[in-house]
A and B are shown apart, each in its own frame.
Chain A
Amino acid sequence: MDVFFYNLYHSYLLKGEIQLKKKLLIFTCFFLLVSLLIPSFALAAEAEIDTGDTTFILMCAALVMLMTPGLALFYGGMVRKKNVLSTIMQSFFVIAIISIQWVLIGYSLAFGTDHFHLIGSLEWMGFIGVGMLPNPDYAATIPHQAFATFQLMFAIITPALISGAFAERMKFSAFVLFTLLWATFVYDPLAHWVWGVDGWLRNLGALDFAGGNVVHISSGVSGLVAAYVLGKRKGLGTESLLPHNIPMTIMGAGFLWFGWFGFNAGSALTAGSLAASAFLVTNTSAAAAAISWVVCEKLHHGKATALGAVSGAVAGLVSITPASGFVDPLSAIMIGLTAGIICYLAVAIVKFKLGYDDSLDAFGIHGVGGAWGCIATGIFASTAINEAGSNGLIFGNPQLVFTQIISLVATVAFAGIMTYIILKIVSFICNGLRVSEKDEDTGLDLTQHGEDAYESAAWGTSTI
């Protein structure tokens, strides 16, 4: 700044504008004085920011961001060729929608000053007041903006998870409006209940380390409601609606597993022992669930499938999420093994008995796995891992299981009812939620987006 004014001062001199000389001199002196004072303020602030923690959280935010494109591939591979782009868009475009919603209103609603223990205020709309100084209520050693950005990535992936339930049949316009309303009226309040200062579930003592309630139970249950409201895909039961590219799904699952380290370890919000513990149990649970899912398949149908292995791994990642900051590696093995079994039963047996069409098992994996993780946290949590947590059932505190169940029931009821209402509103505004039958036959890629993912064999090179 000083150099700028100095140059300015000279340029005026050259032009002969002598009358300004005095004024500019005073101005320059003033800025010199201010610039001498500013570093002392800045130093006082910097003393509280831990560069290691800040680096870690920014890296973790980037890892969690990558989970959503990973989810796009995970889901994209499981649909038919004609719907792969629309399915990928229903994850990828959420990054765009929520990134803006979060800055404008979302973060403030979730983490702003509490109102009635239910919702944050509007004080941080547009990120005004979300500055570079740490906010000790949430993370005392990193800039407030780093915390808010890290949280943004969670807000992005959650509505994207729901899209697995209504894949291959929802209008793009209805999807965009639903995502925006769901984020604002379901995700933001829920995040406030569980993580916001004075949120009622946080005050109750319910434990949710990285988002089992907020991210997985909420998206899973909302997916189930959406699957019921939208109805089944055309041809379910009569045509084979099989995955078109399982390697794509496996690559997506790889991105999810990789990004989940940022999700869970990063939720420690400091780069220390708790993050390391969360990192290890995350990996352990994913591995255990991949094994137990595949074993279930082998016993049930005689084959161990690749799609089963990655589905199991994701179920294990979901289940460890609320527990990741409170349990030891042996508990993680128990949590993962159980997750693989119950999620398998949910998608292979219960889904068909109940007759809903959760296309890509958003409920079967995220809802069921999230619910198990919520209860498992009440069973396996230990203050030896995290002093800020509580002991669970096996450490002599059965009360925590009840607290966890209350938070589970509250999340299921709130997300379920709100999703139903939002879908009805969206249906009214968009003149229906589903594409027409003809469009569903043609595929959503062509009818919703006007593009074709794969060059048609008739026009391309030999397919042999």
Chain B
Amino acid sequence: MKKVECIIRPTKLDDVTEALNEYGIHGMTVTQVMGCGSQKGRKEIYRGTAYDIHLLPKIKIEVVVPALQVEDIIKIVRNSAASGEIGDGKIFISDIENAVRIRTGEKGLTAI
């Protein structure tokens, strides 16, 4: 089992969730996050003073999938979330030891 964490542009949320749904991924966790990377911050102006805003709003989508699906998911997310510009985001993959469905107590792949 692997966890795939995708940090994406907020405007791409619908595209990514639709593409994941088509592939058969129905369970995911979505969070509003702030972050910075190669994309520079932006300038905001309040009462004649310009402020550099370093952290930009992003969306984090977390899905836990069988290890075999990871490459497919990477493809799907890259296809649906990429704009080609700097600031498209990142994908992080990590191992998951186990999963438990709270309602039934099922464990492992059947729980996800």
Contacts of B50 in A (CB 8 A): 301
- Closest Cβ of chain A to B70, distance in Å, is 25
Chain B positions 6-30 with a Cβ under 8 Å from a chain A Cβ: 13, 30
Measured between alpha carbons, how far is A347 from B53 in the docked complex, in Å?
A: 20
- Asked whether A305 lies within 8 Å of B46 as measured between CB atoms, the reply is yes
Whether the Cβ atoms of B30 and A464 lie closer than 8 Å is yes
A297 close to B (CB within 8 Å): yes
When distances are taken between beta carbons in the complex, the residues of chain B under 8 Å from A348 are: 47-49
Please report the C-alpha to C-alpha distance between residue A308 and residue B30 in the assembled complex, in whole angstroms. Answer: 35
The reply to whether B48 and A464 form a contact with Cβ atoms under 8 Å apart is no
Residues of B within 8 A of A242 (CB): 44, 46, 51
Q: Given contacts A463-B32, A464-B30, A464-B32, are A305 and B45 in contact (CB under 8 A)?
A: yes
User: 1/0 contact trace for A225-241 toward B, CB 8 Å?
Assistant: 00000000000000010
| Neighbouring B residues of A297 by C-beta, 8 Å | 45, 48
Q: Which of A329-362 contact B (CB under 8 A)?
A: 344, 347-349, 352, 361
Chain A contacts of B30 at CB under 8 A?
464
A23 CB within 8 Å of chain B: no
Q: 1/0 contact trace for B29-55 toward A, CB 8 Å? A: 010100000000001111111110100
Complex: A296 Cα to B53 Cα, angstroms: 22
Cα distance, A300 to B47, chains bound together (Å): 11
Measured CB to CB, the closest approach of chain A to B27, in angstroms, equals 16
Does chain B have a CB within 8 A of A311?
Answer: yes
> A303 at interface (Cβ–Cβ under 8 A)?
yes
A389 touches B (CB below 8 Å): no
Distance, CA A347 to CA B13, complexed state (A): 40
Asked if A243 CB lies within 8 Å of chain B CBs, one says yes
Closest CB in chain B relative to A429 CB, distance in Å: 34
Contact A308 B51 (CB under 8 A): no
Contact A301 B48 (CB under 8 A): yes
CA distance A296 to B47 in the complex (A): 11
In this complex, what residue of A is CB-closest to B47? A347
What's the least CB distance linking B35 to chain A, in Å?
16
Residue of A nearest to B50 (CB): A301
Residues in A neighbouring B49, C-beta threshold 8 A: 348, 352
- Do the beta carbons of A307 and B47 come within 8 Å of each other? yes
> How long is the Cα–Cα vector from A347 to B47 in the complex, in angstroms?
7
A240, closest chain B residue (CB): B51
Chain A contacts of B46 at CB under 8 A?
242-243, 305, 307
Query: Contact: A349 with B48, CB < 8 Å?
Result: yes
Interface size class of B (residues with CB under 8 A): 10 to 19
What is the CB-to-nearest-CB distance from B7 to chain A, in angstroms, rounded to a whole number? 15
Residues on the A chain within 8 Å of B51, using CB: 240, 242
Beta-carbon contacts under 8 Å, B45-74 to A:
45-51, 53, 59
Q: Tell me the minimal C-beta distance from A39 to chain B in angstroms.
A: 60
- Complex: chain B residue closest to A349, CB-CB: B48
Q: Given A463-B32, A464-B32, is A303 in contact with B48 using a C-beta cutoff of 8 Å? A: no
Contacts of A464 in B (CB 8 A): 13, 30, 32, 59
Tell me whether A308 and B48 are in contact (CB under 8 A): yes
**Is A303's CB under 8 angstroms from B47's CB?**
no
CB pair A344–B48 under 8 Å, yes or no, is: yes
Measured CA separation A235–B43 after assembly (Å): 19
How far, in whole Å, are A303 and B53 apart by their CA atoms in the complex? 16
Q: How far is the CA of A408 from the CA of B21 in the complex (A)?
A: 70
A463 to B13, CA, bound (A): 14
A347 to B46, CA, bound (A): 10
Interchain CA distance A243-B46 in the complex, whole Å:
8
Q: Which of B32, B46, B47, B50 has the most CB of A within 10 A?
A: B47
B55 to chain A, nearest CB (A): 10
Which of chain A's residues 263-303 have a Cβ closer than 8 Å to chain B? 296-297, 300-301, 303
Contact string against B for A residues 297-321, beta-carbon threshold 8 Å, 1 for contact and 0 otherwise: 1001101010110010000000000
| Minimum distance in angstroms from A13 CB to a CB of chain B | 78
Q: Mark B73-89, 1 if CB is under 8 A from A, else 0.
A: 00000000000000000
Q: B45 contacts which chain A residues (CB < 8 A)?
A: 297, 301, 303, 305, 308
Which of B13, B47, B59 is close to A361, meaning CB atoms less than 8 Å apart? B47
Chain A contacts for B32, CB-based, 8 A: 463-464
The interface residues of chain B lying within 8 Å CB-to-CB of A240 are: 51, 53
Inter-chain pairs besides A240-B51, A296-B48, A303-B45, 15 sampled, C-beta below 8 Å: A240-B53, A297-B48, A300-B48, A301-B43, A301-B50, A305-B46, A308-B45, A308-B48, A344-B48, A347-B48, A348-B47, A349-B48, A352-B49, A464-B30, A464-B59
For the complex of A and B, 7 pairs with smallest distance between CB atoms: A348-B48, A301-B45, A347-B47, A303-B45, A301-B50, A240-B51, A305-B45
The 27 listed contacts between A and B (C-beta, < 8 Å) are A242-B44, A242-B46, A243-B46, A297-B45, A297-B48, A300-B48, A301-B43, A301-B48, A303-B45, A305-B45, A305-B46, A307-B46, A308-B45, A308-B47, A308-B48, A311-B47, A344-B48, A347-B47, A347-B48, A348-B48, A348-B49, A349-B48, A361-B47, A464-B13, A464-B30, A464-B32, A464-B59
Interface positions of A (Cβ within 8 A of B): 240, 242-243, 296-297, 300-301, 303, 305, 307-308, 311, 344, 347-349, 352, 361, 463-464
Tell me the B residues contacting A by CB distance below 8 Å: 13, 30, 32, 43-51, 53, 59
